[in-house]
Structure 1
Amino acid sequence: MHTSFEIETDIDLIEHHLEDILGLIEADKSDKFSLFRGNIGKALFYSYAFKYTNDINHGMKAIKLIEKSANHLLTGQIKAQNIHLLSTGFTGFGLVINQLKRDEIFDLELEKELAAFDSVLYNTALQEIQQGNVGFMLGPMAAVYYLSQRTLANPAIEKYLETIVDALWKVAIRDDKGLRYINTFSSTAKPRLDDTVLNLNHGFCGIALVLLEIYRLGICQSKIYTIVNEGIHFLLSCKRPIDFAKGHYSFFPTCIDEQSPIDSEKNQLYYHAILGWCNGDLNQILLLYTAGKAFKNQSYINIAEEVGLASMLRKTPEQTKLKNPYFCHGTSGVAHIYKRIAERSGNDAYLSAHNYWIQQTFDYITEAQTNNSYVESAGHLIDGAMGIGLSLLSHISEEELKWDNLLLL
């Protein structure tokens, strides 16, 4: 745990970094309709900067960017084939609007505009799932997640979700090894299209976390219970012991090629996953804690604890593959995820990992500031300065900041 002196030092240092990041975003000239690399992400950042500082200028900038993004949607400038996508589609915009209302930052009068997209998102998501594209970040599951937040606003959505869960049931592979999905999100996909994907951004973890949110609403509980449990059964069949002496740092692979032996060179590479938001053991720790609590399954919670506490031993770049301060593949994201794992598990031991990676983030920011990429990525959320800033805000804020709900945290 931090001493009061360390906390005060963190606040001073973080507020200094936040001023730098705000300056970089202000100077950033990119004008894209995007959550990850554009105006929607900037609106999110300014909104939470406003919530923390009460500086009305940040709030006005957020509103201006939201209005600009809404106009982009309403004038038909978004590509129809992208409408369901998290970053460049309607979904990211809708999730941000929902979250700003939930966190009582802004309650924007956009219900009519949001409602116009419900059936379009449903039909697009259903079609994508039926074609085997089942991922979160580049697939339809972010749109399904968004729809799950609108059941009170639109009663028709409950039926939409029932149909979507049924479609996920039908496209799953089910046998004595368990349940899994072959994600066809891209014809040039890496991993190959016949590899089973287990991670959060493209694979089973992301699917299951969305389904558990629908389960929480009391929708399709029996079918979701089976999908998630059978999927975890397959996931646990892939679990292997860690052995730092042999360079085995991960319990779980990010993907698995079922056509090759588990000890094949290709599958061994899949076990060398980054410690991060998008891939690796932190994904499965979150899933196991969430499913364990939802299903009252102590075995899942025990496995999550085993993997989670062991993951805290990974600290070097070789063990973690962390070499920058960003959110998706960097230290600020790992710090933030450990904070959420501590909350979800009720185990404060994870806060030591959270605090460790916050300190590492300070060092990596200093290093990143020496090259142009830090400035050039100022307007990026998961791979730029905005994601760092939001993670640091969450570290020092006395209020709970739930911006990360957009990312299934």
Structure 2
Amino acid sequence: MNNTATQLRYIYHDLIPMLRERKYGADYNTSLFKGPWGALLFMFYYEQYADDQADNATALLEEIYAEYAPEKGDNYSFCNGHTGPFWLLEHLTRHEFLDLDINELASDFVTATILQSKFHLEHQNYDFLHGSSGMCNFLIRFAGRPDVAEHLEYFVQTLWNNSVMTDKGRSLPFFYTHDKPEGIFCNSFSLAHGSCSLLIIVAKIYEAGIAQELCHRLISESIPFIMEHKNTFTDDSLHALYPAILDGKSTQSRLSWCYGDLNVAMMLWYCGKLFNEQLWKEEALHIMRYNMRRDTDEAAGIMDNCLCHGSGGIAAFYRRFWFETQDEAFLQCANHWQEKAVEKITFPEDHSKHGIKMWLGKDKQWEYVWDLLDGSSGVGLSMLSQLHSQPLPWDECFLLS
């Protein structure tokens, strides 16, 4: 099964009974990245951009939303908590998949999210997937509310207060290593968990007209710190330009959405465009061009085709930079990684499981996965983008647009 349209159709129809029969753990009922809400994101895009005769997403969303209880539980994380479903509803409304009064629907939820974000800030949890910054990224869409604007200013001030000025620039040591017997807080050049997502979100807060002087200063002092930690390289180097985590253990990183070079490039490009900083934009382009040479799974440090840390995610970065620059080399690189992603698609022969085969680490090894972050829903979205000459905004949830 190697025809892209056929594979997309399989992914889509595989998700329907999985969602209809709720074949996912209760722990993921509220999850965008690992649960039904991310699968719905793919289904809406599939129906809009691949098969306009298919019509299951809205009915399934209505069923799942009818059972959803946002007032229960205190997990508001973007990855697995309540912020994810409401992000999806806002996204689908803004891009005209749905016709909702999202401000009315989300009114009380936004108030509750502010409180949860404050709680995580008090406990130094700034994480994009699991902490305050993911919640604030959602809240930016409601920045016209005075309470939201006040909280976003508080978020930026808290980042500033807990950052550390060094001789290399401003350090954002907010990543906790969870090492045994005791973890440490350090910098991480990451969209999922570190500085790259924080600086993009601060840039978005600047764009919303909030705390602009402090936002600009925080960004302009933090970027030199990241660039000062660039690894040395030669014309034939195949290692990373930037480390994933500054924990003193390694200066390396794989090509992935979650950590490393592509993360730094995306952040530099976003901030460079906003503030017209040519040096940042040039470094972003250099990072993307340099990493074209890491064109094998081994050199890239990947095993599968997922969005988080596989070939589908690499393709999404390069396709985004193609849209931004119209540099044909980026398009060719995106096509290369997308072809490798398609080649890796493996469905269960007996249809006993949902999803496609993914590498889940040394403990679980290969398993069939259907979700947005690590499974077929995310791979399907990356494939849809590859089929279209215009950018598809699903990648907003990954901070790629």
User: TM-score w.r.t. structure 2 length?
Assistant: 0.87
In the alignment, is residue 47 of structure 1 matched against residue 44 of structure 2? yes
In the alignment, is residue 215 of structure 1 matched against residue 206 of structure 2? yes
Question: Which residue, 162, 173, 181 being the options, matches 2:172?
Answer: 181
Q: Is the 8 A contact 2:319 2:334 kept in 1?
A: yes
Q: Distance in 1 between matches of 2:61 and 2:257?
A: 26
- For residue 73 of structure 1, give the secondary structure of its aligned residue in structure 2: coil
Q: Which residue of 2 aligns with 1:296?
A: 276
Counterpart amino acid of residue 381 in structure 1: L
In the alignment, is residue 239 of structure 1 matched against residue 215 of structure 2? no
Q: Distance in 1 between matches of 2:337 and 2:50?
A: 24
The alpha-carbon distance between structure 1 residues 408 and 191, as it changes in their structure 2 partners (threshold 3 A), is farther
- For residue 99 of structure 2, give the secondary structure of its aligned residue in structure 1: coil
Counterpart amino acid of residue 307 in structure 1: I
Q: Which residue of 2 aligns with 1:374?
A: 356
CA RMSD of aligned residues (A): 2.6
Q: Distance in 2 between matches of 1:240 and 1:317?
A: 21
Q: Distance in 2 between matches of 1:191 and 1:327?
A: 31
Q: Which residue of 2 aligns with 1:331?
A: 311
- 1:129-165 CA-to-partner distances (Å, cap 9, x unmatched) read 232211111211111000001124x343222211211
The alpha-carbon distance between structure 1 residues 189 and 148, as it changes in their structure 2 partners (threshold 3 A), is farther
In the alignment, is residue 396 of structure 1 matched against residue 393 of structure 2? no
- For residue 312 of structure 1, give the secondary structure of its aligned residue in structure 2: helix
Q: Compute the displacement of 1:340 (Å).
A: 0.9
Count of aligned residue pairs for this structure pair: 381
Q: Distance in 1 between matches of 2:240 and 2:188?
A: 16
The alpha-carbon distance between structure 1 residues 66 and 185, as it changes in their structure 2 partners (threshold 3 A), is farther
Counterpart amino acid of residue 355 in structure 1: N
The alpha-carbon distance between structure 1 residues 184 and 249, as it changes in their structure 2 partners (threshold 3 A), is closer
Counterpart amino acid of residue 288 in structure 2: G
The alpha-carbon distance between structure 1 residues 343 and 72, as it changes in their structure 2 partners (threshold 3 A), is same
Question: Which residue, 197, 218, 224 being the options, matches 2:215?
Answer: 224
Identity %: 26
Q: Which residue of 2 aligns with 1:5?
A: none
Q: Which residue of 2 aligns with 1:252?
A: 242
Structure with more contact order per residue of length (Cα contacts < 8 Å, sep ≥ 6): 1
Q: Which residue of 2 aligns with 1:315?
A: 295
- 1:236-255 CA-to-partner distances (Å, cap 9, x unmatched) read 1100222486x651110011
Q: Distance in 2 between matches of 1:291 and 1:184?
A: 21
Q: Which residue of 2 aligns with 1:16?
A: 6
Question: Which residue, 140, 147, 161 being the options, matches 1:156?
Answer: 147
Counterpart amino acid of residue 210 in structure 2: I
Q: Which residue of 2 aligns with 1:6?
A: none
Q: Is the 8 A contact 2:315 2:338 kept in 1?
A: yes
The alpha-carbon distance between structure 1 residues 338 and 61, as it changes in their structure 2 partners (threshold 3 A), is same
Q: Is the 8 A contact 1:73 1:90 kept in 2?
A: no
Q: Distance in 2 between matches of 1:380 and 1:131?
A: 29
Q: Compute the displacement of 1:112 (Å).
A: 2.8
Counterpart amino acid of residue 231 in structure 2: R
Counterpart amino acid of residue 72 in structure 1: Y
- For residue 240 of structure 2, give the secondary structure of its aligned residue in structure 1: coil
Q: Is the 8 A contact 1:276 1:328 kept in 2?
A: yes
Q: Is the 8 A contact 1:336 1:354 kept in 2?
A: yes
In the alignment, is residue 30 of structure 1 matched against residue 29 of structure 2? no
Q: Is the 8 A contact 1:243 1:249 kept in 2?
A: no
Q: Which residue of 2 aligns with 1:351?
A: 331
Q: Which residue of 1 aligns with 2:85?
A: 93
Q: Distance in 2 between matches of 1:191 and 1:16?
A: 49
Q: Is the 8 A contact 1:40 1:66 kept in 2?
A: no
Q: Is the 8 A contact 1:138 1:185 kept in 2?
A: no
Q: Could you tell me which runs of 5 or more consecutive residues in structure 1 were left unpaired when the two chains were aligned.
A: 1-9, 261-265
Q: Compute the displacement of 1:235 (Å).
A: 0.3
Q: Which residue of 1 aligns with 2:252?
A: 272
Question: Which residue, 64, 68, 74 being the options, matches 1:68?
Answer: 64
- For residue 298 of structure 2, give the secondary structure of its aligned residue in structure 1: helix
The alpha-carbon distance between structure 1 residues 370 and 315, as it changes in their structure 2 partners (threshold 3 A), is farther
Question: Which residue, 118, 126, 151 being the options, matches 2:118?
Answer: 126
Q: Is the 8 A contact 2:348 2:368 kept in 1?
A: no
- For residue 345 of structure 2, give the secondary structure of its aligned residue in structure 1: helix
Counterpart amino acid of residue 49 in structure 1: Y
The alpha-carbon distance between structure 1 residues 310 and 191, as it changes in their structure 2 partners (threshold 3 A), is farther
Counterpart amino acid of residue 287 in structure 1: M
Q: Distance in 1 between matches of 2:182 and 2:106?
A: 35
Counterpart amino acid of residue 16 in structure 2: E
Q: Compute the displacement of 1:66 (Å).
A: 4.8
The alpha-carbon distance between structure 1 residues 221 and 289, as it changes in their structure 2 partners (threshold 3 A), is same
Q: Is the 8 A contact 1:335 1:355 kept in 2?
A: yes
Runs of 4+ with >6 A deviation: 370-373
The alpha-carbon distance between structure 1 residues 43 and 285, as it changes in their structure 2 partners (threshold 3 A), is same
The alpha-carbon distance between structure 1 residues 252 and 187, as it changes in their structure 2 partners (threshold 3 A), is closer
Counterpart amino acid of residue 190 in structure 2: N
Q: Is the 8 A contact 2:93 2:102 kept in 1?
A: no
The alpha-carbon distance between structure 1 residues 41 and 378, as it changes in their structure 2 partners (threshold 3 A), is same
Q: Distance in 2 between matches of 1:289 and 1:186?
A: 27
Q: Distance in 2 between matches of 1:295 and 1:236?
A: 17
Higher-helix-fraction structure = 1
